[in-house]
């Protein structure tokens, strides 16, 4: 059982209204590994994450968790799955009306019968883990973006999750804090054997932490594999992404002209 993947996706199609966001996604999330999902913005990686954490419903047969089909999950199955996972959202998603420590304590207060003093110690431990010991009694509005993100990570870890989902860990962080967050993610995998899924577009951090990478483009998986395989991949889109080249501008020229001229075709020659 321990070798089987935690999550497996088979031909996942996802729509928003009538627009198709994801096309036939097939991939697996292995246990006790860090999987990094990469791609430029708008490639569908956030939608994929929403499927993985059960915020966007999946059809039967498209996604399975430990061999069980998520499409057939009822409310209590989903609850049980969510009790095992932690999610760090892009902005931290802290509750504004609670202090940082109360935020971290919330899942424990709701789901366990632990004494308040035990919960307080647990919250302090998690806050120390992300380096926010001094900020326990502050309100989220008093924190910087990086601190909010770290507090969000402390809350995601509050229930000692088996699987951790992280949305854009380093966006908007200074390089030192971002590197510290990467180190912590690595340490969690090493010491606790946590399964971790990171969605990011930061190449450097991705290659530092990834055991497995999934590169997405326009709602499809471009390539998936170990970081070295990705690096040596010769697919032009992958190379372009890795080399951070901008899209060629010429492709859009025609529609640009059309928008300027209201769709009229104009021909113009320059006489010398």
Partner 1 sequence: MLVDLIRSLGRYGLSQISFLGRMGIFFYHMVRGLARAPRKFWPTMRQVLFIGSKSLFVISFTAVFTGMVLGLQGYYTLSRFGAKGMLGAAVALSLIRELGPALAAIMVTGRAGSAMCAEIGIMRIEEQIDALECMAVDPHAYLITPRLLASLIAIPLLTAIFDVVGIFGGYLVGVALLGTNPGAFITGMEKTVEWNDVHMGIVKSLIFSVLVIWICTYKGYFTGVDKGYFGPEEVSRATTEAVVLASVAILVSDYAVTSIML
Partner 2 sequence: MQFDVQKPQPGRLLVRLEGVLDRNAVPSIRKKLLSAIRKNVSEGGVVSLDLSRAPEMDTAGVALLVEALESVSGCHSKLRLTGLSEKAGRLIRLTRLEQVFGLKDASQSPE
Angle between helices 116-129 and 145-156 (to 10 degrees): 130
Interaction between residue 251 and partner 1 (CB under 8 A): no
Among partner 1, partner 2, none, the one that 4 touches (CB under a kind-dependent 5 to 8 A) is none
Residue 186 contacts partner 2 per CB under 8 A: no
* Residues 109-128 contacting partner 2, CB under 8 A: 112-115, 117-119, 121-122, 125-126, 128
187 contributes a contact to partner 2 by CB under 8 A:
yes
Contact 197, 165 (CB under 8 A): yes
* Closest-CA residue to 243 (of 259, 257, 231, 260): 231
Structure tokens at 31: 């246990």
Query: What whole-number distance in Å separates Cα of residue 145 and Cα of residue 151?
Result: 10
Does 54 interact with partner 1 (rule: CB under 8 A)? yes
Of these, 10, 13, 28, 106, which contacts partner 1 (CB under 8 A)? 106
Report 146-175 residues binding partner 2 (CB under 8 A): 158-160
- The Cα–Cα gap between 210 and 202 comes to 12
For tokens 């640009």, name the residue.
256
C-alpha to C-alpha distance for 68 and 218, rounded to whole angstroms:
28
Q: How far is the CB of 201 from partner 1 (least distance, A)?
A: 18
Give the single-character DSSP code of 235. -
- Judged by CB under 8 A, the number of residues near partner 1 is 26
Q: For residues 35 and 45, what is the distance between their CA atoms, to the nearest angstrom?
A: 13
Q: What is the DSSP letter of 162?
A: S
Query: According to the binding rule CB under 8 A, does residue 115 interact with partner 1?
Result: no
Residues that bind partner 2 (CB under 8 A): 108, 112-115, 117-119, 121-122, 125-126, 128-129, 158-160, 187-188, 191-192
Residues that bind partner 1 (CB under 8 A): 16-17, 53-55, 78-79, 82-83, 85-87, 89-91, 93-96, 106-107, 110-111, 152, 155, 159
């Amino acid at each position: 059982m321990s070798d089987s993947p935690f999550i497996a996706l088979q031909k996942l199609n996802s729509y928003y209204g009538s627009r198709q966001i994801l096309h036939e996604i097939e991939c697996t999330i292995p246990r006790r590994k860090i999987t990094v999902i990469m791609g430029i913005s708008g490639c569908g990686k956030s939608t994929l994450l929403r499927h993985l954490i059960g915020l966007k419903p999946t059809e039967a047969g498209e996604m399975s968790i430990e061999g069980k089909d998520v499409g057939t999950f009822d409310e209590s199955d989903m609850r049980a799955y969510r009790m095992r996972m932690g999610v760090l959202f892009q902005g931290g998603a802290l509750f504004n009306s609670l202090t940082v420590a109360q935020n971290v304590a919330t899942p424990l207060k709701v789901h366990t019968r632990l004494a308040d003093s035990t919960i307080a110690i647990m919250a302090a431990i998690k806050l120390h883990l992300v380096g926010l010991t001094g900020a326990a009694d502050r309100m989220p509005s008093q924190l910087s973006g990086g601190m909010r993100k770290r507090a969000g990570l402390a809350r995601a870890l509050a229930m000692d999750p088996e699987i951790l989902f992280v949305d854009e860990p380093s966006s908007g962080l200074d390089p030192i804090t971002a590197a510290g967050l990467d180190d912590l993610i690595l340490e969690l995998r090493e010491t606790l054997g946590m399964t971790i899924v990171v969605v990011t577009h930061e190449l450097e951090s991705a290659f530092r932490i990834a055991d497995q990478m999934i590169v997405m483009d326009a709602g499809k998986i471009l390539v998936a594999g170990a970081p070295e395989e990705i690096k040596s991949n010769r697919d032009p889109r992958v190379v372009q992404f890795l080399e951070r080249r901008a899209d060629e501008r010429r492709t859009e020229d025609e529609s640009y002209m059309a928008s300027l001229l209201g769709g009229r075709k104009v021909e113009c020659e320059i006489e010398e």
